[in-house]
Amino acid sequence: MLVAARARAEEVGVVPVSPGAGAALRFLAAVLDARSVVEIGTGTGVSGVWLLRGMRPDGVLTTVDVEAEHQRLAKVTFAEAGVPSQRVRSIPGAALDVLPRLTDGHYDLVLCDGEKIEYAAYLTEALRLLRPGGVVVFDNALWHDRVADPAKRDETTLAIRDLVRTVAESEELTPVLLPVGDGLLAAKKHA
Ligand SMILES: C[S@@+](CC[C@H](N)C(=O)[O-])C[C@H]1O[C@@H](n2cnc3c(N)ncnc32)[C@H](O)[C@@H]1O
């Protein structure tokens, strides 16, 4: 089923989470017994299906994407996966316009997979949105192995490198960098 979603992603130039990252997201949602999850970067719905499979059966995924066409394709993916429509709240728009409208302290998990140079701003929003004990996750934390190479200094690499450092040094967070796919940085907000 996700094979079709991945093909749709390729057609529109979206890179979905890897199967390993997807399994890690499903695991985190299950461990948290997640009822409310925010996803930044719907794409064609690959990561959304993984998250929904780990969440409680009545859990709701709020997913944000600036491209209406991507969200349309994601709805096809969710329908193919048998996800009841009331379990997904799709919000079109730029993440930094939409996130301030979401409820403080309400969410169990926030997945950040939108615009990489906005990751620091997503962290600020996620810390506000998460309940105590909730988890924020960033995909592409290794950024094609560029983050660990000090010679690589393009804007995206620098943004992700700064984000990884900020999360590692935060006294509010307990982090782990999982070497699955392109790197999944997860951090638990202290209770
Ligand atoms: C890497 S893809 C997401 C893939 C998806 N998480 C999955 O695994 O199927 C990034 C998505 O973020 C969206 N995006 C880019 N900039 C954004 C922004 N500023 N706000 C919201 N979405 C954005 C793109 O349209 C694209 O669909």
- Quick: pLDDT tens for 86-140: 999 999 999 999 999 999 999 999 999 999 999 999 999 999 999 999 999 999 9
Q: What is the pTM of this model?
A: 0.98
Residue nearest to atom 22 of ligand 1 (CA): 65
**Residue to mutate, 3, 101, 115, 182, ligand 1, most ligand atoms under 8 Å from C-beta:** 115
- Tell me the DSSP string of 84-95: -GGGEEEEES-H
Query: Kind of pairing, strands 60-65 and 88-92?
Result: parallel
What percent of the chain is modeled with pLDDT above 90? 99
* Ligand 1 residue neighbourhood (C-beta within 6 Å): 14-17, 40-47, 64-67, 70, 94-95, 113-115, 118
- Number of structural domains in the chain: 1
Residue nearest to atom 27 of ligand 1 (CA): 43
162 token code pair: 């700064």
Residue nearest to atom 11 of ligand 1 (CA): 41
Average pLDDT, the chain: 98
Residue nearest to atom 16 of ligand 1 (CA): 115
pLDDT at residue 181, as a whole number: 96
Residue 158 CB partners (closer than 8 Å, separation 6+): none
CA of 165 to the centre of ligand 1 (A): 23
Residue nearest to atom 18 of ligand 1 (CA): 94
Above 90 in pLDDT, residue 1? no
C-beta of residue 56 within 8 angstroms of C-beta of residue 86: no
Domain residues for 10? Answer: 2-189
Mean pLDDT of 2-14: 96
| 38: nearest Cα among 117, 116, 95, 120 | 95
**Residue to mutate, 6, 47, 65, ligand 1, most ligand atoms under 8 Å from C-beta:** 65
> What's 151's domain CATH number?
3.40.50.150
100 token code pair: 């301030």
